[in-house]
A and B are shown apart, each in its own frame.
Chain A
Amino acid sequence: MTPAQQFVRRPPGWLSWIVSDDPPGRIGLNVLMLAILLALAFAPFLFPGTKALGVSARICIFVILVASYDLMLGYTGIVSFAHTMFFGIGAYGVAIMLAKGWVGWGAVILGAAAGAAVAAVVAAFIGMLSLRLRAIFFSMITLAIASFAQIVAEQWRNLTGGEDGLTFSVPAVLRPSFHLFAKPVFGVVVNGPVITYYITFVATLILFLLMLRIVNSPLGLVLRAIRENEFRVEAMGYQVVAYRTLACVLSAVMAALAGALMALVLRYNGPDVTLSFSLMIDILLMVVIGGMGSLYGAVIGAIVVVLAQYYLQNVLAMISAAIAGMPVMSALFHPDRWLLWLGIIFVLIVTFLPQGIVGRLRSRH
C-alpha cells in the first residue's frame, strides 16, 4: 500500500457498516463472535430444554446490561454502583403495568418506555448532582442511591409487591400454552417462551449494534478522551460534566430496556432478581473478565459468568464429592462457595490481565 492510498477511505462494505467499522479484531476473535452469534440465534434448537433456554435468554439480557455498563466504566471511566437500579426500574416498569391488570402489548411497550424514561431522568439527576466531583465520590453516592432504590422497592408494597415481588401474566403469544405452529419444528415446539427468547435475542442484537455505533461515533471519541485525560478535554472546550452525564443517561436507558426484557422472560420481578448488590458484583465480574473498553468483551464476560453461575456449582459438587474426606478442602469446594472462586478469578484477572480476555486478544495485532 502506498502512503497516499492509506488516506483513501474505502467505501465501507455492508458488513463493516453494520458493526460500525469496529469488527472484533483478529481472526480468532471474529470466528468466536460469529460462533456465539450463531449459537445464540439458534439456541432453542441447538440446546433444547427449559433450563438451556433460560440460560440463553439470561446471556442475551446480560450482554445488553454489561455492554451498557461498559459504556460508563470502560469507555468513560466512571464507576457506578447504581446500574442494577436502572435495570430494576425497567423491569418494574413492565412488571407494574402487567401486574395491575392491563395485559397486552400496549402495556409492555408503555411499561418499557416509562421505565426507560424514569431511568433517564434519574440518571441525569444523579449525574448532574455528583459527576462534577471526584470519581470516587460518584461511586460511593451511586452505592448509597442504589441501596435506597432497593429499600423503596421493598417498602412500597402497594406498587412493587414488596420483598415478594410481582408475578404477572404476559400477552397470550408469550405464554407457554401458545404454540406458533401445530407441529414441532426440528423437534422443538415453538411456544411462548421460545418466542420470548427470539424477541430478547433480536432486541439484544439491535441494542448491541446501536451501542457499537455510539462508541464509534464522535461522541464515543469524546467519552474515551475523557477517560484518558479529562482536563485536556475540558481545556479543548468540551463540557466534561455534560458528556459524562450523557454517557450515564444512555447507559441507564439501555439497562432499563434490558430490565424490561428480564421481566418478560421471567414473568416475575422482585428486588432480589433485579436490584440486589450481588447482581451488581456479577456485572462488574462480567465487564472485567470480558475486558473493559470493548463491547465485545461484554459478550464474552456475560457468557463466561452466566455459564459459571449455572454450571460451576456442578463442577464444585463433583470436586467436593471426590475429596469428601478432607475437612477444610471440602468446605472450600462446597457448591455454595462458587462465589469464592469467582472472586479469586476476578482478583487474578484485575492483577494479571487488566485488559480482560477480549482486550488481550485484540491487543496483539
Chain B
Amino acid sequence: MKEDWRNHMRRWAPYALTPLIILAALPAIGAGPWLTLTVAGLTMGIMLFLVASGLTLIFGLMDVLNFAHAAFVTVGAYVTVTVLRPLAGWTMQTSLTLNLIALLVALIAAAAASGALGFVFERVIIRQVYGAPLRQILITIGALTIIEQLVVVIWGPQALVLPKPASLRGSVFIGSSPIETYRLAALAVGLAVALAMHLFLRRTRLGLVVRAGVENREMVQALGYHIRRVFIGVFMAGTALAGMGGMMWGQYQETVNSQIGDSMTILVFIILIIGGLGSVGGCFIGAILVGLTTNYVGFLAPKMALGSNILLMAAILLWQPRGLFPMAEH
C-alpha cells in the first residue's frame, strides 16, 4: 500500500512541478506582479517550446542533435523583417484584421523559408553524418557559423527594427496587473500550434509512424515505412517551427540581430535536458518551467536571472538524472 503511494508520487511529481512553482511564486512576489509575470513566463515558455520541440523530435526520431537549430530561428526572424517591410501599411493601422493578416503572412513566410532551408540542410549537411555523433556535433557547429555569417552577408551586420503591429501594442489590465497584448496573442498562437502538433502526433496515421519511429526505428522500417522520408518531413517541420519561434521572438523584442538564435540555444538545450531528450511532452513542460523561472527570478533577483535556468537544470538533473520524462534508450 505504501509502495503504491510512493510509485504514484514518483509518476506524478514531474507533472506537479510546474503548478507548484507557480503557486510558490505567489506569496514570494505578491498578487499584482505575479499575474503579469506568470503570463510573461508562459508566453516565453511557449515560444521556446516552438523552437525546442522541433529539435527534440529530430533527435528522438533520428538520433541527430542539430547544434545549428538556432540558425533557423535567426533566419525566421530576418525573413519576417523582410516580409513585413512592404506590409508596413497593414501593420501600422489599428485595424486588428489587417494586422493579423500581415502577421499570418509573415508567420507562413518565416516557416516556409526555414523549412526550405531545413530541406537543403538535411540533404547537404545532416545526411552524411547519420550514426556518427561526434561528426554530427562538429559539422552542425560549422554549419551554424556559416549560416549566421551568410545572414550577415545578406541582411548586414546592424540590428534591424521589427515593430509590433499597432493593435497588439500596449497592455490590458486584469485587476491591477498589466498584461501586454502581444504576449496574450503570442500565447494563443503558440498554444494553437502546440495543440495542432499534439493532435497530429496522437490522432493521425503519420503521427503514429513518427511516434513509433522515436520508440523503435528499425521496427517501423521493418513494417515497410520509408523512415527516411518521414524524417525529412519531420526535419523540415522542426526547422519551420524554429522559424516561427524566431518570428514571434523577434517581434516580441522588436529588434532582430544575428545573435537572436544563439541567445536561445542554451535555453533550448536546458529545456531538452530538463524534459528528457526526444520527449515532446517533456519538452513542453521544460519550456514552460524555463519561461516561468526566468521571469520570476528576473523579478526577485535580477542578477540571478541569467544563471537561474542553469541552476534549475542542475537541480532537476540531481533529482532525475535523465530528465523529467526520459525516453527509452535506443
Bound-complex Cα distance A133 to B323 (A): 11
Which chain A positions have C-beta within 8 A of B314?
A: 129
Q: Among the listed stretches A42-50, A98-106, A135-143, which one makes contact with chain B, having 4 or more residues with CB under 8 Å of it?
A: A135-143
Contact A347 B310 (CB under 8 A): no
B134 → chain A closest CB, angstroms: 6
Bound-complex Cα distance A277 to B145 (A): 12
Contact B153 A340 (CB under 8 A): yes
- Once A140-B273, A354-B135 are accepted as A-B contacts, the answer to whether A343 and B307 lie under 8 Å apart by CB is no
Whether A199 is near chain B, meaning CB under 8 Å from some CB there, is: no
Q: Closest chain A residue to B149 by CB distance? A: A340
B315 → chain A closest CB, angstroms: 12
Contact A137 B277 (CB under 8 A): yes
Contact B273 A77 (CB under 8 A): no
Whether A346 is near chain B, meaning CB under 8 Å from some CB there, is: yes
Which chain A positions have C-beta within 8 A of B262?
A: 277
Whether A332 is near chain B, meaning CB under 8 Å from some CB there, is: yes
Whether B157 is near chain A, meaning CB under 8 Å from some CB there, is: yes
Bound-complex Cα distance A344 to B139 (A): 10
Question: Out of A143, A277, A337, A342, which one reaches B153, CB within 8 Å?
Answer: A337
Give the number of chain A interface residues (Cβ < 8 Å): 42
Q: A interface, by DSSP: helix, strand, loop or mixed? A: helix
- Mask of A340-354 contacts with B, CB within 8 angstroms, 1/0: 101110110011001
Contact B307 A151 (CB under 8 A): yes
B70 → chain A closest CB, angstroms: 12
Which chain B positions have C-beta within 8 A of A77?
A: 134
Contact B307 A148 (CB under 8 A): yes
Which chain B positions have C-beta within 8 A of A235?
A: none
B75 → chain A closest CB, angstroms: 15
Q: Closest chain B residue to A156 by CB distance? A: B303
Bound-complex Cα distance A288 to B138 (A): 8
Contact A328 B153 (CB under 8 A): yes
Whether B128 is near chain A, meaning CB under 8 Å from some CB there, is: yes
Whether B131 is near chain A, meaning CB under 8 Å from some CB there, is: no
Which chain A positions have C-beta within 8 A of B81?
A: none
Which chain B positions have C-beta within 8 A of A351?
A: 128, 139
Question: Out of A133, A281, A328, A332, which one reaches B321, CB within 8 Å?
Answer: A133
Bound-complex Cα distance A239 to B273 (A): 25
Contact B157 A152 (CB under 8 A): no
- Mask of A10-46 contacts with B, CB within 8 angstroms, 1/0: 0000000000000000000000000000000000000
A75 → chain B closest CB, angstroms: 12
Contact B142 A346 (CB under 8 A): yes
Contact A130 B137 (CB under 8 A): no
Which chain A positions have C-beta within 8 A of B135?
A: 350, 354
Question: Chain A CB within 10 Å — which of B138, B273, B306, B314 has the most?
Answer: B138
8 A Cβ contacts from B299-330 to A: 303, 306-307, 310-311, 313-314, 317-318, 321-322, 329
| Contact count band on B | 35 or more
Bound-complex Cα distance A143 to B272 (A): 13
Q: Closest chain A residue to B265 by CB distance? A: A143
B2 → chain A closest CB, angstroms: 30
Q: Closest chain A residue to B145 by CB distance? A: A343
Whether A67 is near chain B, meaning CB under 8 Å from some CB there, is: no
Contact B277 A347 (CB under 8 A): no
Whether B146 is near chain A, meaning CB under 8 Å from some CB there, is: yes
Whether A79 is near chain B, meaning CB under 8 Å from some CB there, is: yes
Which chain B positions have C-beta within 8 A of A343?
A: 142-143, 145-146, 149
Q: Closest chain B residue to A331 by CB distance? A: B153
A338 → chain B closest CB, angstroms: 9
- Once A143-B266, A144-B266, A144-B270 are accepted as A-B contacts, the answer to whether A79 and B150 lie under 8 Å apart by CB is no
A78 → chain B closest CB, angstroms: 9
Whether B125 is near chain A, meaning CB under 8 Å from some CB there, is: yes
Bound-complex Cα distance A152 to B272 (A): 23
A124 → chain B closest CB, angstroms: 15
Whether A117 is near chain B, meaning CB under 8 Å from some CB there, is: no
Which chain B positions have C-beta within 8 A of A152?
A: 307
Q: Closest chain A residue to B136 by CB distance? A: A136
Bound-complex Cα distance A354 to B137 (A): 13
Question: Chain A CB within 10 Å — which of B135, B153, B303, B313 has the most?
Answer: B153
Bound-complex Cα distance A130 to B321 (A): 8
Which chain B positions have C-beta within 8 A of A137?
A: 273, 277, 322
Question: Out of A151, A332, A334, A347, which one reaches B142, CB within 8 Å?
Answer: A347
Whether A284 is near chain B, meaning CB under 8 Å from some CB there, is: yes
Question: Out of B138, B310, B313, B322, which one reaches A350, CB within 8 Å?
Answer: B138
Whether A336 is near chain B, meaning CB under 8 Å from some CB there, is: yes
B181 → chain A closest CB, angstroms: 32
Bound-complex Cα distance A346 to B149 (A): 14
Which chain A positions have C-beta within 8 A of B134?
A: 73, 77, 79, 135
Contact B138 A281 (CB under 8 A): no
Which chain A positions have C-beta within 8 A of B307?
A: 148, 151-152, 155
List of 5 A-B pairs having minimum Cβ-Cβ separation, nearest first: A340-B149, A343-B145, A346-B142, A347-B142, A343-B146
11 contacts between A and B (CB under 8 A): A129-B314, A129-B317, A134-B329, A136-B133, A140-B65, A328-B153, A342-B145, A346-B138, A346-B145, A347-B142, A350-B138
Name A's B-contacting residues (CB within 8 A). Answer: 73, 77, 79, 129-130, 132-137, 139-141, 143-145, 147-148, 151-152, 155, 277, 281, 284, 288, 328, 331-332, 334, 336-337, 339-340, 342-344, 346-347, 350-351, 354
Given contacts A79-B133, A281-B141, 8 further A-B contacts (CB under 8 A): A141-B273, A144-B313, A155-B307, A334-B153, A339-B145, A343-B142, A347-B125, A347-B146
